[in-house]
Structure formats: structure tokens, C-alpha cells
Structure 1
Amino acid sequence: MSMKDTITIVVATDNHYAILLGALIKSIEMNHKTHEKIALYIIDDGISASSKKKILASSNPAVTTMYWHKTNDVIPPNVKIPVDKSAFPITTYLRLFAPYIIPKETTKMLYLDVDMLLIEDISKLWHIDLGDKLFAAVPDLAKIFASEWGGVPNYKELGFAPDTPYFNAGMLLLDPIKWRAGDLSNKIIQTIFDNIASASFPDQYGLNVALANQWVILDQRWNTFAVLEIEDPWLIHYLDIKPIFQSYNCNPAYKDQFYKYLRMTPWKDHKPVPDWVRLSRKAYNKLRKIVSGYLK
């Protein structure tokens, strides 16, 4: 597979959300129109053998080649991850190490959260020019650092302008060579440690503070949040309650889209699960952080 004709994607998931990855893979393949092949690097944070089999069966090997990496092999042994109070799974931090698991000569990579669907041809996103910037992303719902909802609460102390643009970290099109050269994974983690009281969305906070103003601002349709009503999304992001749960309360048309692609996978008979399952997973995520202390 030549680098020139390859779209390099990195994702990370635990076993709970393996089903989301199945739908994401299918949506990418069904809407991909160009000759480029997909190189999909999966960071496996405890995916079961049966889920892995379903993920493999969700893709077309003529289009997508998968490369699997265990979490413990992705986070360097000397790195300690901050313990925050959120219910976000440890998996969310794995995006910070994505540039280290792909071939060193790769000049561009796409990181995607697994709670997404690609409705537009992924090659259109892939060929966006980064110019002299480090990465491209879409503004978050918070939009700016001064936002009372999720931005950077201590932006004044850090010396940032209130209107500094704030991005959502679920979709990042980035230059992995520049990333590694700048040792950015460690810089971002240190930023979170230094500001842990202000980091409500920990890894996203660290990314925004450490990489402020180094990004290309993309059209909202490349990361359309399911809470919005956008008629022609190019990428849908189920950033709140996922459509696999009965309590999903976002755009119903986006839920229909999800099940359209899920029905093309071995999870085709899935029925939305009760809310106690979702809440027990959140409790598990918090407990796992406390018990592990995020120590390797």
C-alpha cells in the first residue's frame, strides 16, 4: 500500500463502543468514491475477541487494511495520565499518542472518535490543505476560550484572548511529523496536570491550550454534533448520549443514519439498550481511573 494513495486513520475504542466502530467503518467505505485505500489503525482498549471478529467483518478488506495496537503498547511506560473527575473513559486520552503508531514516513493522519459517521466521501476531508498549520479541526459548541460552556475557564491567567477559537477534538486532521518533532503528547499532558482544576473536558482542554491558534478552522459539517439540526452533515458526531442507548435524545434523523449503517454490519440486529447500562459504564469509567490512578 503506497503512502501516496493511502488515507491513514487512527481510532481508539474499548469493548463497550466497538459497535460504534462497526458503523463508522461501514459509513466510511460506503461513501468513499476515490481510488485511495484506507489504512485503519485501531487502538484496542480491551476489545473482546467476538467484537474484534465483528469489526473485521464490518469492513471490506479490498478497501480497508486494519492494524491493531493494544493500549498498553501505545502509552509509553514513563507517561502518567492525569486523573480527572470526569466520566470520560481512559480511552479518550489515546488520541494523544496516535501519531506514534503509524509509519514514520506518513505525512498526514486523521484521528476520528468512534462515535461518528462519515456521510461525505472521506477523501474530500483527507485532501484539505493544512498549509503551515499543525492540524485542521471544527469549532466546538463552546466556539471560544471564554465560553461558559466547556471553554478554557482560566484563559485570562494563561494570557489568552477571550475570543481565541476553541475546537472539538473528536476529528483531527494533523501532521504527525510536526507533532512528534514538537513532543506535543507530553506537552499536552503537562498542560492538563498544570491546570487540572480547570480541565472539565481534560484531553480537549489540554489540546486547545497547548495548540491554540495552530489549526485550520473547518466547516461545521465536518464535525456535525448530533444535538444540532444541520440538514446536510458531512460527518455526524454523537458526542452526547450514543444512538445505541434508549435514552438517545438528539437529532432523530441522525439516529436513523446510524442504524442504516449498523444494519450493514454483524450488529444488524442490535436494539437500543436501557439507560442503566450507560450509567453503569460511566460509573465504571470513574472507578477505573481511581483504582488505576492512570499509572502504567
Structure 2
Amino acid sequence: MNRENTINIVMASDNHYAILLGALIKSIEVNHKTSEKINLYVIDDGISKDNQEKIRASASPEIVSIFWFKTSNVIPENIKIPVDKSAFPITTYLRLFAPYILPAGTERYIYLDVDMIVLSDISDLWKTDLNNNLIAAVQDLSETAGSPWGGIPNYKELGIAPEAKYFNAGMMIVDVVQWLKEDITNKVIQCLHDNLESVNFADQYGLNVILVNRWQALDPRWNSFSILDTKDPFLIHYLDIKPIFRSYKSIPRYQDEFYKYLRLTPWKNHKPIPDYVRMSRKAINKVRKIMSAYLK
């Protein structure tokens, strides 16, 4: 375990979801009660200068130090991002490259999707014992590799047991040293290319194939899905329609929680936006993913 009095967190965002990043950062800061400082590494997938300033203003520099990395400098030139069938943006794949942006000697980090808020002290998550596993995560809604609607569609062909537990990759504690030693990033990307017809949830598919039975299961409250009414969640993950949209349809009080933290940021006057904006972004994500693949 990293003995330094610093918590390392990695996030990735495009400009559309910069507002989510602001609320997430503020929620971490507000609920962090112990003495550790937080180093936040942001993979910037086209965040505007104005939104970058808002993100900086969402964090107290006495507690949070922010380090920025452009997508173009994060993905190696020889890497070709798979063009899967989903509407997940390219930004989703950036978590695969997180270990390469961290300072030499870093032992672990927490990865968080931006569509989250943290309601408990992040230091409790940081101190998790990985028990010699490569990552720690929370079991996904689909629960197992053999799930009829999620999981790993071609688990039989891959020789994976249907009852093998399947994790959600939106929140992970990662052993950097072991990840790099085993070249997990390239193994996941190759897995995606080799099984493209079965890829259902972007890189989460590949991570679960490569890390099957090699992850530490955490208390589900550390990745509480917004469609479920969980008692005392530690972290809320807005899996479905994000709380910034009028069409948000998950647990209502979770949207209220999101806006509680957003009001502490420069986006404090934000109002939920029309759904046509969300749908147009999904279409743009698909086009951008295809164009990126052809340009590589």
C-alpha cells in the first residue's frame, strides 16, 4: 500500500460532462475528514478552458491538487481504440491508460467515472486491502459472467465459468505496479479487438475477461447504482440518464444529492437540460468513435 499521506484519484472527462466532474470533486472534498491530501489526475478529453477553470474552482487547493493530461498525450500512437457497437464515448476507454500518467513510484490509485458523487470519506476506500488482487471493485448489476443480459456474452468460448463474478469498472482501486508488470492495458485492448462482436459495455467487457477471478469485491455501497434505492450509500453512480438532464428517471433523492454538491461549484445555477441534447451527444459519440478508429 502507498504509505504516503496522499490519495491518488484518476478521472477522465470530455467537455459535455465537465459539470459532473465539478460535482464529483466537490463531494469528495466535502466528505473527506482525515488528513490526507488528494492528488487528482484528470484525463482531459476536450474540456474547454472555461470549464477547466470551473473545475479548478470546484476544489480547495489546500486539499486537492489537480494535474491535467490531454487525451492526445495519453493514448500511444500505435494503439487503435476498438469500434464497438455501444454509444459509450471514447472517453470511457481512457481509464485503461491511467497507470501511465501517474508519477514513477506510485503504488495504487482510485479510478472514478465522472457520473458519480462520493458521500463517505474517500480515505476509507483508499485504505482497502487488495488481498493480492490486481484491483478492487463492486459487483455489477449483471452480477456474473453468464448474465443473460450483461456479463460476458461469449464466456463459454473463452472458458469462463458462468458463475464468475462480474464487476462494474466505474470505480476501481488499482495496483499500479502489478498492472504495469502484466501489461494489462494492452491485454484488454487486444481482447476487445479479438472479441469485438461480443463487446457490450466497452472496455468493461475486456477488463472482466482479463481480470476474471482476480479482483477484490467491495461493499456494494462503494458503487451504489442510482436506479436502486440503497440505504446509506457511500458513492452514487448515475448509470442511466445523468442528473443534469430533465429526463433523469432514477431515484429522485439521488438527483437532489447531486445538486446539493453542484450548488457548491461555479455551476451552482445550472438547471436540468432538455433530452434532445443528451440524444444528440450519443449520436456524436458513435460518429467520433468511428472516425477516431479510422484516423489511427
Q: TM-score range by the shorter chain?
A: over 0.9
Q: Which amino acid aligns with 1:35?
A: S
- Report the equivalent of 2:77: 77
Deviations 1:35-61 (CA, angstroms, capped at 9, x unpaired): 000000000000001100100000000
- What CA distance in whole angstroms lies between the structure 2 residues aligned with 1:295 and 1:35? 46
- Report the equivalent of 2:8: 8
Q: Map residues 76-155 of structure 1 onto 2, 5 A cutoff.
A: 76-155=76-155
Instruction: Please tell me the root mean square deviation across aligned C-alpha atoms, in Å.
Output: 1.0
Deviations 1:226-284 (CA, angstroms, capped at 9, x unpaired): 00010200000001100000000000010000000000000000000000000000000
- What CA distance in whole angstroms lies between the structure 1 residues aligned with 2:130 and 2:80? 31
Structure 1 unaligned regions, length at least 5 = none
Deviations 1:170-196 (CA, angstroms, capped at 9, x unpaired): 000010111011111000000011111
- What CA distance in whole angstroms lies between the structure 1 residues aligned with 2:145 and 2:196? 16
**CA drift at 1:209:** 0.2
| Runs of 4+ with >6 A deviation | none
- Report the equivalent of 2:284: 284
Q: Which amino acid aligns with 1:257?
A: E
Deviations 1:103-150 (CA, angstroms, capped at 9, x unpaired): 120111000000000100000000001121111000000000010121
Q: TM-score with structure 1 length normalisation?
A: 0.98
**CA drift at 1:295:** 4.0
Q: Which amino acid aligns with 2:125?
A: L
Structure 2 unaligned regions, length at least 5 = none
Percent identical: 63
Deviations 1:2-51 (CA, angstroms, capped at 9, x unpaired): 96100000000000000000000000000000000000000000000110
Task: Tell me, yes or no, if structure 1 residue 49 matches structure 2 residue 13.
Answer: no
Report the CA distance shift for 1:87/1:40 in structure 2 as closer, same or farther (over 3 A).
Answer: same
- Report the equivalent of 1:180: 180
SS in 2 for 1:188: helix
Task: Tell me, yes or no, if structure 1 residue 207 matches structure 2 residue 194.
Answer: no
Deviations 1:82-113 (CA, angstroms, capped at 9, x unpaired): 01121100000000000110112011100000
- What CA distance in whole angstroms lies between the structure 1 residues aligned with 2:158 and 2:212? 11
- What CA distance in whole angstroms lies between the structure 2 residues aligned with 1:212 and 1:183? 15
**CA drift at 1:292:** 2.3
Determine if contact 2:85/2:199 at 8 Å carries over to the other structure.
Answer: no
- Report the equivalent of 2:32: 32
Determine if contact 1:44/1:71 at 8 Å carries over to the other structure.
Answer: yes
- What CA distance in whole angstroms lies between the structure 2 residues aligned with 1:84 and 1:134? 26
Q: Which amino acid aligns with 2:210?
A: A
- What CA distance in whole angstroms lies between the structure 1 residues aligned with 2:138 and 2:88? 20
**CA drift at 1:291:** 2.0
Q: TM-score with structure 2 length normalisation?
A: 0.98
- What CA distance in whole angstroms lies between the structure 2 residues aligned with 1:40 and 1:146? 35
Q: Which amino acid aligns with 2:180?
A: R
Q: May I ask how many residue pairs the two structures share in their alignment?
A: 295
SS in 2 for 1:4: coil
**CA drift at 1:290:** 1.9
**CA drift at 1:289:** 1.5
- What CA distance in whole angstroms lies between the structure 1 residues aligned with 2:261 and 2:132? 36
Determine if contact 2:37/2:63 at 8 Å carries over to the other structure.
Answer: yes
Q: Map residues 58-73 of structure 1 onto 2, 5 A cutoff.
A: 58-73=58-73
Q: Which amino acid aligns with 1:83?
A: V
Q: Which amino acid aligns with 2:62?
A: A
Report the CA distance shift for 1:35/1:152 in structure 2 as closer, same or farther (over 3 A).
Answer: same
Q: Which amino acid aligns with 1:102?
A: L
- What CA distance in whole angstroms lies between the structure 2 residues aligned with 1:29 and 1:289? 33
Task: Tell me, yes or no, if structure 1 residue 223 matches structure 2 residue 211.
Answer: no
Q: Which amino acid aligns with 1:292?
A: S
